[in-house]
Structure 1
Amino acid sequence: MLVHGITGFDDVGGLIDYFYTIPYNLERSGATVYAASVSAFEDSKVRGQQLASQIVPWADSNGGKVNLIAHSQGAPTSRVALTYQPSRVASITSVDGVNKGSKVADVIRKVIPADGLVEGGAEVIANAFGQVVNWLSGADNQQDAIAALWTLTTPGTNELNQTHGWGVNTSNYCGEGSETVSVNDHSVKLYSWSGNTAFTNVLDILDPFQVTTSLAFIGQDVTQSDGLVDICSSKMGKDLGTHYDMNHVDSINHTLGIHSLWHDPVGQYRAQANRLKNLGL
């Protein structure tokens, strides 16, 4: 079960997947793949409750459990869903997940004063964009851009991790978490991976944007990032690697499959699916 991040969707008109070509490439090898559809802009707790309700029918029709592979805000969203449906989640894999906050969100929160005209205008625009996402993807999810921004900041994520911090090492910022956690006596496997560079392909029109956002990490203790999330913040459960030559958008095989010549994001999802299969999950 693939879980999208902020601004995300399951697919647009059945033509373009958020996880570009990844469902097809998993299904052609025998996997059953579902794409979640939660709010494009919303607090991770709200998104997690939405995801939890979607897990139930899909898990019950496929042996009782699902493996969640989650991108960006999808990772904390999935950890919230785990709290509500521990008996139906076999594993969570975080892909460039915002598990310990994003310095980019911290900067944006500082630039946009709370309760001001700028915040109000930005919220209207972002929420409107979320409604466009609803329309294009056939969804009907509520939108709250300011809540989404807060939940991705370092303080907002720390607050979330107090109750939904499964697999997150809160005592060591760069430390990995436990591969196996017990949630209400249900054993769940947790994994993560991420990229460590913002610019990977001169043909990708989104790379300059990610280079710009990566400036938020200058002067920080951890400067390596995928453009939006630093490599330490991305860690959850067993760390499968933070050395990959990909940025935040490459990790879902966008823009339309343009990525580094030295890394194949689709192959990485296939490898993880095989890993989970070999573990009997």
Structure 2
Amino acid sequence: MTQELATRYPLVMVPGLLGFVRVVVYPYWFGIVSRLRQGGAKVFPVMVSAVNSTEVCGEQLLQQIERILRETGAAKVNLIGHSQGALTSRYAAAKRPDLVASVTSVAGPNHGSELADYLGRSFPLGTVRRRLLNGSMRLMAGLMRLLETGYRGPKLPIDVDASHQSLTTEGVALFNHRCPQGLPETWGGQGEELVNGVRYYSWSGTLQPGRSDRGRNRLDGTNVTCRLFARTFTREVGHCDGMVGRFSSHLGTVIGDDYPLDHFDIVNQTLGLVGKGADPVRLFTEHAERLKAAGL
């Protein structure tokens, strides 16, 4: 085994909404964890509530971090969060910066998701449509829990409304007031990389006709889903990955915000079927090298 990706601190991979460690034999971080481990990195994909508020998920993540530190003897961890997992990671770092060396946001809705705003308008609280939407989310989360084989901890609570509110522009604005670390001062800018001893990074993608909808993505239904979801965007129309806007994703040092990757492609879903010329796994291996070079 080589050691070119062996970071000083373990890499903790935090999933987003409806996330999992492994469904039957299929991993959330398809091809990513295995490649990082091949390079010598210590990698821990973790589980938090598949559907719940950022704060609830953040407290669960802190428990996981403490467990990993006990098991490895490491002093800190590097958190890598996808989608809502980025907010979950930010919460943990804000509350316990002594335990976190870095936070990396991968397509994180760090200023909220316009898709979440649209769903809030289209499915208002108290309506039949909202109850049906919530029921379908609970059903999906319950089914995935039954099929989960990579997590063996206690049953984690589900709260659909709390999760939705955590992802809206309004909800994330409240969260950002409490956890501002790494946020840009201007829209579309970069934030401070080092805050309270924690380094902050981010990257994200955008839907790019002729690239992200070509290649193996022609066989990937999630790419079609992202293209449909992108129609709900108004502020960042034409500049989103289907679920998160390009500039909304910015946190700390922005490694890139226009990779030809939709919201699922960026973590190599589904089965590594991504757009023409895209290589999401390489983004993670390059970042491990970046963290290692920074002494993290």
2: CA distance between counterparts of 1:16 and 1:135?
A: 14
1: CA distance between counterparts of 2:289 and 2:236?
A: 35
- 1:210 is matched with 226
Alignment of 1:278 onto 2:279: no
Alignment of 1:176 onto 2:186: no
Alignment of 1:131 onto 2:145: no
- 1:73 is matched with 84
- 1:103 is matched with 114
Deviation of 1:119 after TM superposition, in Å, equals: 1.5
Alignment of 1:246 onto 2:256: no
Deviation of 1:123 after TM superposition, in Å, equals: 1.4
Alignment of 1:150 onto 2:165: yes
2: CA distance between counterparts of 1:205 and 1:128?
A: 20
- 1:118 is matched with 129
- Between 34-43 and 219-228, the greater mean CA deviation after superposition: 219-228
Within-5 A mapping of 1:48-59 = 48-59=58-69
* TM-score for both structures, normalised by structure 2: 0.89
1: CA distance between counterparts of 2:270 and 2:136?
A: 23
**2:183–2:190 CA contact under 8 A, matched in 1:** yes
- 2:38 is matched with 28
Q: Which amino acid aligns with 2:22?
A: D
Deviation of 1:221 after TM superposition, in Å, equals: 5.1
- 1:88 is matched with 99
- Between 33-42 and 60-69, the greater mean CA deviation after superposition: 60-69
2: CA distance between counterparts of 1:132 and 1:99?
A: 28
Q: Which amino acid aligns with 2:190?
A: E
CA RMSD of aligned residues (A): 1.4
Q: Which amino acid aligns with 1:20?
A: F
- Between 192-201 and 19-28, the greater mean CA deviation after superposition: 192-201
Deviation of 1:147 after TM superposition, in Å, equals: 1.0
Deviation of 1:117 after TM superposition, in Å, equals: 2.0
- Between 158-167 and 96-105, the greater mean CA deviation after superposition: 158-167
Q: 1:12 and 1:90, CA in 2 relative to 1: closer, same or farther beyond 3 A?
A: same
Runs of 4+ aligned structure 1 residues displaced above 6 Å come to: none
**1:49–1:84 CA contact under 8 A, matched in 2:** no
* Deviations 1:32-56 (CA, angstroms, capped at 9, x unpaired): 1101100111011111111011001
Deviation of 1:62 after TM superposition, in Å, equals: 4.0
**1:39–1:142 CA contact under 8 A, matched in 2:** yes
Q: How many residues align?
A: 274
Q: Which amino acid aligns with 2:200?
A: L
* TM-score for both structures, normalised by structure 1: 0.94
Q: 1:221 and 1:203, CA in 2 relative to 1: closer, same or farther beyond 3 A?
A: closer
**1:131–1:143 CA contact under 8 A, matched in 2:** no
Deviation of 1:261 after TM superposition, in Å, equals: 2.6
Deviation of 1:222 after TM superposition, in Å, equals: 5.4
**2:206 aligned residue (166, 189, 196):** 196
Q: Which amino acid aligns with 2:220?
A: D
**2:231–2:237 CA contact under 8 A, matched in 1:** no
